[in-house]
Chain A
Amino acid sequence: MDQTGHLISQTAHAATQAHGEAHELPNIFTVLDQIFPGNPFFEFFHHWENIVFSVLIMALIVFCSVRAARKKKFIPDANQNRWEMFVEGLTGFVTGILGPKGVEHVPFLGTLFIYILIENWLGLFPLMKSPTSAWSTTIALALAATFYIQWVGIKEQGFFHYMKHMAGNPKGILGIALLPLMLVINVTIEYLAVPLSLSLRLFANVSSEDRLIYKFAELNVMYKFLPFFFQLFANILAIIFSLVQAFVFLLLTTVYISLIMPREDHGHATGSHNKKFPSPVKPT
């Protein structure tokens, strides 16, 4: 039994080493590709493993949440109760920042949070992988968040005021003269810096966690399980930091939404958009 475990570890280690500099534990597709080299089926899955794991998570979340929501019991069972607690907690958090109008953003923010959280945690399961340890995944999530934020901006402010906001609310000749520069700066920040910072932060953190766990696992293989407690510690840290990263992504997206929503002090809450919202929390 001990020998078998050791062999698996060795195979996994070899499988990862075979792909250049290994930086995370081998997953099921890495191992299968290594065991059956040249198999186009496994090669395909190994190549698109992040997408496969994302689809797996997608199916898991959809199945669990729809199953919980389908019952609609007045006295909820355990599963429904967990989801309701999550929904209520998240609604409280989001409305705390965005005000009562924030309720309509709960579905997006909630999906974002739970999707990222499960993707972060998936890498902790044997033969699984965190899709968020790949930059492509986090870029996709950051782009989704960015498009949503801008869409909220256009919807809440109106296209004209949104463009005015992007142009830095120009006033006077100087403002108009600086308009192209402000537009470039704001578009760069909103459409490039925001998704870049969001995606890079998540990708860097999760891939670092995976790398740390991998290194401790490698030490376990090399030194006969001596550094087991280090790996355990790293796993606990990864559980906590995965949660923190998902929460940070959620928090920042919420704050970006609050910043793009019309406010009195911006002076463009007019017409149908003349609604008073509480001052959003500014990122520190």
Chain B
Amino acid sequence: MDYFQENIRLGEVFVQLVAFLTVFFVLRKFAWKPLANVIKARREKLDHEWTDIGKMKAQVAELQKEYEEHLRKIEDEAREKLQEAVQEGRRIAREIQEKARSESQISFEKAKTNIEIEFEKARFELKREIAKLSLQIAEKVVREKMDAAQHEKRAMELIEELEKKL
């Protein structure tokens, strides 16, 4: 009993209790709550920022997907237009070729016609020359009395002359 009386002092117990409760209430109001609030606010802010980052990442991914889609479309369109241009070029080349061919055909036909006309003209001229020469020969034969040898000779000369003219 003496031990308890020596070691337990009720006044001290009471003051110690008050001291501890004072620390508790002061810390609860001025330390624990502010610290807990700071931690909570920081956690919320970080969570919020993480959420924002997540959203932004999703947006970026969406945009990237859109851009890739857009690029793919552009590439497709470019390829399509290129192919169209190639086709158009080929078509034009074919047309030019066709035109050139038809023009050359026309020219050829024209030239052929001209040649035929010139040929007919030459033939006509030749006939006329032959007739003229025949008349001249006949005239000479009539005018001069020639023997058979002279006739032949004369005729050969006329032929040679005619060949030269042709």
Contacts and interface: CB of A to CB of B under 8 A. Distances in A.
Interface of A: 48, 50-51, 54-55, 58, 61-62, 65-66, 68-70, 72-74, 76, 80, 83-84, 87-88, 91, 103, 106-108, 110-112, 115, 131, 134-137, 139-141, 143-144
B164 interface: no
Contacts of A106: 32, 36
A136 B7 contact: yes
A136 B16 contact: yes
Interface of B is mostly: helix
Given A68-B31, A83-B31, A74 B17 contact: no
Contacts of B24: 107-108, 111-112, 144
Contacts of B17: 140, 143-144
Interface residues of B, number: 31
27 contacts: A54-B16, A58-B22, A58-B23, A65-B27, A65-B30, A68-B35, A69-B31, A69-B32, A69-B34, A72-B34, A72-B37, A76-B38, A80-B38, A83-B35, A91-B36, A107-B24, A107-B28, A107-B32, A115-B20, A131-B16, A136-B13, A137-B12, A140-B16, A141-B20, A144-B17, A144-B20, A144-B24
A70 B9 CA distance: 37
A24 to B, nearest CB: 13
A58 B30 CA distance: 14
Contact of A136 (B9, B28, B33, B41): B9
B32 A87 contact: yes
Nearest to B4: A135
A98 to B, nearest CB: 16
Contact of B8 (A51, A61, A136): A136
Contact of A110 (B13, B19, B32, B37): B32
A112 to B, nearest CB: 8
Contacts of B142: none
Contacts of B42: 74
Contacts of B16: 50-51, 54, 131, 136-137, 139-141
B10 to A, nearest CB: 8
Nearest to B15: A51
Contacts of A108: 24, 28
A111 B19 contact: no
B82 interface: no
Given A66-B26, A72-B38, A111-B24, A55 B19 contact: yes
A165 B58 CA distance: 55
A72 to B, nearest CB: 5
Contacts of A55: 19
Contact of A69 (B9, B12, B23, B30): B30
B21 interface: yes
B45 interface: yes
B117 interface: no
B8 A139 contact: yes
Contacts of A73: 38
Among A61, A106, A111, A134, the most chain B Cβ lie within 10 Å of the Cβ of: A111
A48 B16 CA distance: 11
A84 B9 CA distance: 37
B39 interface: yes
A141 B13 CA distance: 9
Given A51-B15, A91-B36, A136-B9, 16 more contacts: A48-B15, A50-B16, A65-B35, A68-B35, A69-B34, A72-B38, A106-B32, A108-B28, A111-B27, A111-B32, A112-B20, A136-B7, A139-B8, A140-B12, A140-B15, A144-B21
